[in-house]
Amino acid sequence: MPTEIEIKVIKALSAIEVPPTLALTIEGWGNEAVTVLCEAALGTYPGLRQKIRTNAVALLGWMTHPQAMETVRMLINDSNEDIAIRAMRSSGRQKNDGTTDQLQALLSKSETSPLLAAEAVQSLINNGSVKARAVLTQYAGQSPETLPHRRNALVQELLNKMQH
């Protein structure tokens, strides 16, 4: 049987539009509610609709709760590209330096898709830490011959904006 807080959080995540303010509401419900949100983002609950999971991942970006930040770190390399992208966006919004090494590893793989590379770059730009900027500087110096995603127009545009 689901607990009252599980029902409350899952019901809130089931809305068509989930405003960022819901993150603060869930935090206000306590640590158990944050845990339910993190578990939903991780896909722990069987039979949960994909939309609920993606809403949960997106909401994590509006939280600085340690469990939310750790969950985002765990989702950066999710096998579902939509979840990984939302985790990257959440990481940038959180200014979560705990994901910087993972984003760097993603950018150093030649097989990374241009879309994931662009999202990783944007996440690091939004993070803005010294470590994130160092990763971006190193990535900007990489050859498109070695890393094909470096020649993607969006990736180049993001890197050019960063340098100005």
* H/E stretch holding 150: none
pLDDT computed for residue 103 by the predictor: 99
Residue type, 123: S
Full-model pTM: 0.94
* H/E stretch holding 61: none
* DSSP conformation class of 45: S
pLDDT digits (tens, 9 = 90+) for 86-99: 999 999 999 999 99
Residue type, 45: Y
Tally the C-alpha atoms within 13 A of residue 103's C-alpha that lie toward its C-beta. Answer: 34
pLDDT digits (tens, 9 = 90+) for 51-83: 999 999 999 999 999 999 999 999 999 999 999
How many C-beta neighbours within 10 Å does residue 67 have? 15
- Taking 50 as the pLDDT cut, the residues of the chain under it are none
CA 111 – CA 90 distance, rounded (Å): 23
What are the residues whose beta carbons fall under 8 Å from the beta carbon of 112, sequence distance 6 or more?
106, 120, 147, 149
What are the residues whose beta carbons fall under 8 Å from the beta carbon of 95, sequence distance 6 or more?
126, 127, 128, 129
Listed residue (112, 100, 106) closest to 149, CA to CA: 112
